[in-house]
Amino acid sequence: MVLQNLLSPPVLFFVLGMVAVLLRSDLEIPAPLPKLFSLYLLLVIGFKGGVELQHSGISQQVLLTIGAAVLMSLLVPLSSYWILRRRLDAFNAAALAAAYGSISAVTFITAESFLDTSQLPYDGFMVAALALMESPAIIVGLLLVRALAPRAGDGGEKTVGGWGSVLHEAFLNSSVLLLIGSLLIGLLSSAFSPAALAKMEPFSGGLFYGALSFFLLDMGIVAAQRLQDLLRAGIFLVGFALLAPLAHALVGLGISRLLGLPQGDALLFMVLCASASYIAVPAAMRMSIPQANPSLYLSSALGLTFPFNVVIGIPLYMALVQRLIPILP
Amino acid sequence: MKRLDLIIPELELERLRRVLRRAGVPGYSVIRHVTGYGAAGEVSEGLEVSGTGANAHVLVFCAPALLESLRVELRQLLGTYGGVAYVGDAEPL
């Protein structure tokens, strides 16, 4: 299964990007393109999720799963902060905790792509969980700084942005807005304009896998650049970036089993718990906790946790799912 | 006439614009995607995707009195979010 994942085009392109940096190649993707592709991926994943959510409906299982996902995005920052505070100051610990409580949409999309290749079904409502897990961790990170930084003796001004701008950034940042907006558009289109879905198909279906592969090529380049920064940050952070996703994935596995999720959804739930944000959270942290060092929270989330999840984590979590989650009839 | 050059993280561009407009500057120009090297290390467009990538170069021409009223707020902004600002004389063509 690891080999099947490793030898899939998205992961191979990701590795190619990393290799290009390590070999000091001049391979470079012009800046507007990764942004364009990331918006495209978010739009499509939201739209498809909305269509599937309309088909499956909103059941008790859906609400429980989404509720559990939001709860995890509140609890993970708390436990992460408690661990990180042993070596880092309150500002950096809170920013990192927020990053690990939030999610990586690209890891989620890669996991969906892995499930598609493995022909394992999954439900569209998991996209709603993805969208709703982005923001709570940002709020928890800020609350941690406001509540604990003075007692921790870090001094100085704690946060600069007022709560209005922080909440605006947490709930209306481009990735959350696009995901939720596309989900609603998919839901409404599927209900009231099903004929339009076929017209969207070349854009939302045929192009998707290639776009993901191309985007992951760029992410490989960026991840390898950040990895070099992370190695300079020390062994504690390297260990956290590798062990935290494993621990969070295991908790996710336990919750999936409790909720009775099917295998595909269980894998996605684990990936949501295990991944760390490097899109929504860094922007919010730069704005609201400027005292935190971006090279720490960006490098650990992007330089190590992201590659680990994409290359090793997803097949590893799937192996655990297959061992511990029964196949539903 | 004075010329003010500011190099700030692109993410903080809107915050700077609000300060400039509040002060009543007659106009400003913005050059985005500015890369280079500084106190925070290499500044590249690699993380444009996260909105935390490159810097922006903001160019303001204004009267010396207006510049004085901007000083405190700009210093606070630069001190918090990073960036540099330099002032020079400018002569209209």
A295 close contact with B: CB closer than 8 A: yes
Are B51 and A298 within 8 A, CB to CB? no
Are the C-beta atoms of residues A35 and B50 closer than 8 Å to each other?
A: no
Residue A222, C-beta contacts closer than 8 angstroms, at least 6 positions apart = A17, A34, A302, B46, B47, B49
Contact between B82 and A290 using a beta-carbon 8 Å cutoff: yes
Q: A95 in contact with B at a CB cutoff of 8 Å? A: no
pLDDT at A162: 64
CA distance B37 to chain A (A): 14
Q: For A136-193, how does the pLDDT look when each residue is reduced to its tens digit (9 = 90+)? A: 898 898 888 878 765 544 444 444 456 776 777 778 877 788 888 999 999 999 999 9
Question: pTM score, two decimals?
Answer: 0.83
Nearest to A222 among B47, B80, B82 (CB): B47
Supply the ipTM of this predicted assembly: 0.70
| A286 touches B at CB < 8 Å | yes
Res. B53 pLDDT band, cuts 50 70 90: confident
Q: Are residues A290 and B80, on separate chains, in Cβ contact within 8 Å? A: yes
- Determine whether the interchain pair B50/A283 forms a contact, defined as Cβ–Cβ distance below 8 Å: yes
Contact A278 B46 (CB under 8 A): no
Q: In which region does residue A273 sit, left (phi positive, over 0), alpha (psi from -120 to 50) or beta (all else)?
A: alpha
* Weakest mean pLDDT among A55-64, A83-92, A227-236, A255-264: A227-236
3-state SS class at A315: helix
Which residue of A279, A299, A306 is the best one to mutate when testing the B interface, meaning the one whose CB has the most B CBs within 10 A?
A: A279
Does residue B33 belong to the interface with chain A, where contact is any CB pair within 8 Å? yes
More confident site: A226 or A181:
A181
On whether any CB of chain B is under 8 Å from the CB of A327, the answer is no
